[in-house]
């Protein structure tokens, strides 16, 4: 068990040294595995790699990524953002609310965190700066809206979590729906209050985006919002009803996004090539981390890591609530250093046996874990969302402004976590009602 105790510190040291996560996981796995298996270590690691590569549930990830890439590259998102501005622009903080609403809808259509944030950021930053929103509010709104790709189904993180925890993908996605909507509502209430108390300098000018005939508003809504909602319904409905597997539902989404692209006249082979390139790059990154993470957990368990975690929990003498808090703190701390993929891969196989043995509802606990992962995604100094935003932000938007901007949204996410923890039915009621109908 002494070797297992040193695996995580060594992994963190390699990641902080700038070594890619997949390579860092592989190096630590190979070194620790050699101490257990000797010269047979590579045969053992290959077995872990093969089991990850043949996991049929993970085959849904490339299709979800392709769906998001097509929606991003085809201009569909731009039309959707305009519709949100039209209907929400008159509210206090209207553009910020439209950005959050856009993030929620596009997260439900794409399920990929980075793609959602970059896409809405490229559209929202110029529009919000034009009406003199503060850079802090712009940063926080875009980071929070982009992070909804974690909580709003269909979520790639949820697909991976359910696969590793050996639970129903549909049940976990259904369990995340009400907490995800609750989080969006809290974001919108905060932005409305902020807009009332500290309105942007050019708040009155925003009416130019909404002053158009009602018939034109309805036409844009019908042609832009309804097709996206139909796509979301097709993907989630087929999955939750048990009609389609996660891979089949994701394929429906990818084909639907392509048909929408053709219908809007935005299809081109260049666009398709770029979408496929993005899909291959992101999917390869995720699945390579999955394979390396599987190796890491295999060697961690072989070195007594599972017994180490179990004995730590038993020695502390925590009850059910203490176990949950302890595990959530570990997930949050790992989120400071590791990508969400590695975080899920490391934590889920460790925690799941103990959670099941303690009789804790796996859907409720899974929802709590995903909320914590989303919160760590926003939390400085290693906030992935800020790094995504920094890559597209103008020079006058500083890192300090971004860090200040995400603080209210982190607090709102923690409030959502507390509500779901206190009222488990928020996560457990809906799966019982709709999964499999």
Mean pLDDT of 88-92: 80
pLDDT over 70 for what percent of the chain? 91
pLDDT in tens, 320-331: 888 888 889 988
pLDDT greater than 50 at residue 205: no
Q: What is the pLDDT of residue 313?
A: 67
Other C-beta atoms lying within 10 Å of the C-beta of residue 17 = 8
pLDDT of residue 435: 58
d(CA 275, CA 390): 22
- pLDDT tens for residues 303-312? 777 677 777 7
Question: Taking 70 as the threshold, does the pLDDT of residue 240 lie above it?
Answer: yes
Closest CA to 13 of 338, 309, 303: 338
**DSSP letter for each residue of 77-126:** HHHHHHHHHHHHTTSTTHHHHHHHHHHHHHHHHH--HHHHHHHHHHHHHH
Dist CA 53 CA 51 (whole Å): 6
Distances (CA, A) of 355 to 139, 229, 345, 358: 37, 36, 16, 5
pLDDT at 428: 92
The answer, yes or no, to whether residue 406 has pLDDT greater than 90, is: yes
Greater confidence (52 vs 150) lies with 150
Q: Indicate the average pLDDT of the chain.
A: 82
State which of 104-113, 116-125, 337-346, 397-406 shows the largest mean pLDDT: 397-406
Average pLDDT for 254-264: 87
pLDDT value at residue 100:
93
More confident residue, 197 or 388: 197
Residue with more model confidence, 305 or 33: 33
Whether the pLDDT of residue 5 is over 90: the answer is: no
Q: Once rounded to an integer, what is the mean pLDDT over residues 48-62? A: 73
Range in 38-42, 356-360, 407-411, 423-427 the model is least confident about? 38-42
pLDDT exceeds 80 at position 366: yes
Q: How many Å apart are CA 174 and CA 236, to the nearest integer?
A: 9
> Which has more pLDDT, 299 or 137?
137
| Tokens of residue 255, six digits | 């084909």
> Tokens at residue 430, please?
């809906």
pLDDT band at 137 (very low <50, low <70, confident <90, very high): very high
What's the pLDDT score for residue 372?
Answer: 94
Most confident of 38-47, 97-106, 203-212: 97-106
Report the C-alpha gap between 343 and 67 in whole angstroms. 24
Query: Helix and strand tally (H, E) in the chain?
Result: 20, 0
| Dmax (CA) of the chain | 74
Q: What is the pTM of this model?
A: 0.82
Tokens of 102: 């856009």
């Amino acid at each position: 068990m002494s070797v297992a105790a040193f695996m995580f510190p060594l992994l963190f040291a390699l990641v902080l040294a700038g070594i890619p996560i997949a390579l860092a996981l592989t190096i630590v796995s190979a070194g620790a595995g050699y101490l257990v298996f000797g010269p047979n270590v590579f045969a053992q690691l290959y077995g872990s790699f093969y089991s990850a590569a043949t996991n049929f549930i993970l085959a849904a990830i490339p299709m979800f990524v392709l769906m998001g890439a097509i929606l991003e590259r085809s201009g569909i998102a731009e039309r959707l953002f305009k519709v949100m501005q039209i209907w929400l622009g008159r509210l206090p903080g209207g553009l910020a609310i439209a950005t959050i609403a856009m993030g929620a809808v596009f997260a439900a259509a794409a399920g990929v965190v980075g793609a959602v944030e970059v896409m809405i950021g490229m559209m929202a930053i110029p529009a919000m700066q034009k009406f003199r929103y503060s850079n802090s509010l712009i940063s926080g709104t875009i980071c929070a809206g982009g992070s909804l790709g974690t909580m709003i189904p269909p979520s790639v993180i949820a697909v991976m979590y359910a696969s590793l925890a050996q639970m129903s993908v549909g049940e976990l996605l259904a369990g995340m729906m009400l907490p995800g909507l609750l989080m969006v509502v809290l974001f919108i209430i905060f932005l409305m209050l902020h807009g009332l108390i500290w309105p942007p300098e050019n708040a009155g000018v925003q009416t130019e985006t909404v002053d158009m005939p009602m018939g034109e508003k309805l036409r844009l809504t019908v042609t832009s919002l309804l097709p996206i909602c139909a796509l979301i319904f097709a993907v989630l409905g087929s999955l939750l009803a048990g009609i389609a597997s996660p891979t089949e539902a994701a394929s429906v989404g990818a084909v639907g996004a392509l048909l929408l692209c053709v219908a809007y006249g935005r299809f081109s082979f260049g666009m398709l090539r770029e979408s496929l390139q993005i899909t291959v790059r992101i999917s390869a990154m995720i699945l390579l981390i999955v394979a390396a993470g599987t190796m890491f957990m295999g060697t961690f368990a072989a070195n007594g890591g599972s017994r180490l975690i179990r004995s730590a929990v038993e020695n502390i003498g925590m009850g059910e609530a203490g176990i949950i808090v302890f595990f959530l703190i570990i997930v949050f701390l790992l989120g400071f250093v590791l990508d969400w993929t590695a975080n899920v891969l490391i934590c889920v196989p460790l925690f799941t046996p103990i959670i099941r043995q303690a009789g804790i509802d796996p859907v409720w606990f899974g929802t709590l874990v995903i909320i914590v992962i989303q919160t760590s995604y926003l939390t400085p100094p290693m906030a992935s969302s800020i790094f995504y935003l920094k890559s597209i932000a103008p020079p006058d938007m500083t890192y300090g402004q971004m860090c200040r901007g995400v603080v209210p949204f982190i607090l709102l996410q923690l409030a959502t976590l507390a509500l779901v923890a206190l009222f488990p039915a928020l996560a457990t009621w809906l799966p019982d009602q709709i999964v499999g109908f």
